Amino acid sequence: MKNIFFPLIALLTLFVACQSECEKKEIVEVYCFVDVTDTINYNLAAEYFASTDENGNCGFYNTLKNIFPLQNCSGGLFRLYKINDVGENQYAELKYPKEGAFLADATEYQIKDDGSFRKFKTSFSKTFETIIGKETPEKSKTKIFLPLCKALNQLNESKSSRKIMIVFSDMLENSELFSFYKQKSPDATETMDKLEETYNVTFPDLKNIEVYIVSKRTTGNDVAIDKAEKFWNTVFTDLYPAKVFKSGANLAIE
């Protein structure tokens, strides 16, 4: 038995040593928020996640697949959060590969056959149902600032090569500290300073983060959304300029 055991150990050690590590890892990290207090944009997000193609891949993955590279020294992480008035830190996560990046000498077959990548492609719908699908929209309070601030700080500290935040929401903060429904023309600088002080948090530098807000307008929310768009546009383009900032009814990521 010893004559077989020790050669096997030596062979395994040699195999591990011959695998090429990556000098630089191209990791894409995406944080996606769905506002479960807002029926219109909750349903918009559900449409993105519910559809599938002929291969069984979720439609949301098809929207994002160009930004998740399937190649050596690459990897991807996707987190799905819900925005509501209590569970700011609740999320579901998908990641490929498990170690964080495919090896430099991984073959195309090894990459395509990686179990975590196959799960990544097909699990977006299941992820949505796990963390968000049981929610009932139209809650009385909506905290936008706090969960986004926490997530953006995490992204800012990440070593990933590309960092993206997607938000399905009308962005109408409606909390005890600040409400777009009660304030006529909120000043972005004063409001952000007040929120940072009250919550004892700091809004981060966004120069390496892409921010995409996906939202539908209706006649019922048009006036409030005008105020919210002006406010958040000031936040993400003037006060804390993001690397990329886009907003609209369609998710457009290059």
Cα 167 from Cα 132, distance rounded (Å): 14
For the chain, the C-alpha Rg in angstroms (whole number) is 21
- Residues 6 or more apart whose Cβ sits within 8 Å of residue 72: 22, 102, 103, 104, 105, 106, 111
The β-bridge partners of 75 are 27
> With contact defined as beta carbons under 8 Å apart, do 169 and 144 qualify?
yes
Q: Give, as one character, the DSSP assignment of residue 20.
A: P
Look up the pTM and report it: 0.88
For 116-128, what is each residue's pLDDT tens digit? 998 998 889 888 9
Q: Name the residue ranges covered by the structural domains of the chain.
A: 22-248
Average pLDDT of the segment spanning 153-165: 95
For 20-55, what is each residue's pLDDT tens digit? 888 889 999 999 999 888 888 888 998 888 888 777
Fold topology of 22-248 = Rossmann fold (3.40.50)
> With contact defined as beta carbons under 8 Å apart, do 29 and 77 qualify?
yes
Which pLDDT score, from 0 to 100, does residue 211 have? 97
Closest CA to 253 of 212, 214, 216: 212
User: Across the chain, what does the average pLDDT equal?
Assistant: 85
What token pair was written down for 82?
């819900």
